[in-house]
Structure 1
Amino acid sequence: MRPTTRVLTLAAILASSLGSIGSSLAASDHQHAHGEATQTLQLNAGKRWTTDAALRQAMGTINDGMHEALPAIHENRLPTERYSELAELVRHQVAYMVENCQLSAAADAQLHLIIAQLLAGADAMSGTANGQRDGAVRVVGALGDYASHFADDNLKPLQH
């Protein structure tokens, strides 16, 4: 059985979370042919990018998980195991959104920048205790960037 482009893309994205996330994602062969990756997150001619159902669902799930953990993160009392669980939640939801992506090529290119932030945050949350909180902050930042750059009115940005 030959792997599909999406499966190969997913593998590349997940593998990139172990190394150089930004450059690996920019070079990944997603199903859309969108040329060179954009280096900075941008709006779509002054408006937020359109989303698809899979993206909204995955980002909502990540947002809910982080919202639940946020008080303990703020108080520096979230257990190491819980950070690891949040990291896995992020990775699983990123895999889901990539596998089910139906965005335009331009919106997809912008989403890759958010995904890079999410996976970098997940990596840090899976690492040593010293970096776990910083990883959570990075995921919360990515959620904020998503909310300000993608049209998803159901996602309420986290207050931190």
Structure 2
Amino acid sequence: MKKSLLIFTLVLILSTLIHHKVIAAEHEHHHEVNEAKLSLNDGHKWPIDKSLHIGMNKIKIEIANNLSDIHHDQFSAEQYTVLATRLEAHLNFLFANCQLPPSADAQLHTLLAKVMQGVDNIKHSTNKKQGAVQIIQALRAYPVYFADTNWQSIQH
């Protein structure tokens, strides 16, 4: 029994250390991407695929459905937590399904890093509203750099 408990404890400690190391590496990667600037493809918008439109549209809908309450400071901490969880699910969908050419994908990662930073601020900052603003800014940049002919911008 003691041996099992010891092994379990060691595995738990190792997995925690590895998890924190991976998160730190991901944070560093996203920080570097976030510093990158979005650019056009020789003056043209980057191509998209269906999954990109779906994922970005779901992110937009989450923000748009809550925009009035966020804007008027009537969005609770619990609501921000739920919003962040939903936004993360949409980001995960994008990462799992988007199949863009490498150069377009690099631009998409630059844009999504801004969304991820917004989600991180919603989750961890005292100014959660600023996180939502960062996501709105990324949503406004999306149709400037990506050729999504079915995109309808947030009305605010």
TM-score (norm 2): 0.78
* Residue 108 (structure 1) shift: 0.3
CA distance in 2, matches of 1:68, 1:116: 22
CA distance in 1, matches of 2:79, 2:151: 22
2:144 matched to 1:157? no
CA distance in 2, matches of 1:142, 1:158: 11
| 1:88-124, Cα deviation, whole Å (9 max, x unpaired) | 1221111111111210111000001111101100011
* Secondary structure, aligned partner of 1:89: helix
Unaligned runs of 5+ in 1: 1-10, 27-36
2:117 matched to 1:104? no
Instruction: Tell me, yes or no, if the aligned pair for 1:17 and 1:120 is still in contact at 8 Å.
Output: no
| 1:39-90, Cα deviation, whole Å (9 max, x unpaired) | 2100111121110111110000000110011111110111111111221122
1:8-157 equivalences in 2 (<5 Å): 15=23, 19-20=27-28, 21-23=30-32, 26=33, 39-128=36-125, 130-157=126-153
Higher helix share: 2
* Residue 18 (structure 1) shift: 7.6
Aligned length, in residue pairs = 135
CA distance in 2, matches of 1:16, 1:154: 36
Equivalent residue number for residue 33 of structure 1 = none
Relative to structure 1, the CA distance from residue 48 to residue 89 in structure 2 (aligned partners, 3 Å threshold; closer, same or farther) is: same
AA aligned opposite 1:85: V
* Residue 38 (structure 1) shift: 8.7
| 1:100-154, Cα deviation, whole Å (9 max, x unpaired) | 12101110000011111011000111124x3200000001111111121111122
Paired-residue identity, %: 30
Equivalent residue number for residue 10 of structure 2 = none
TM-score (norm 1): 0.76
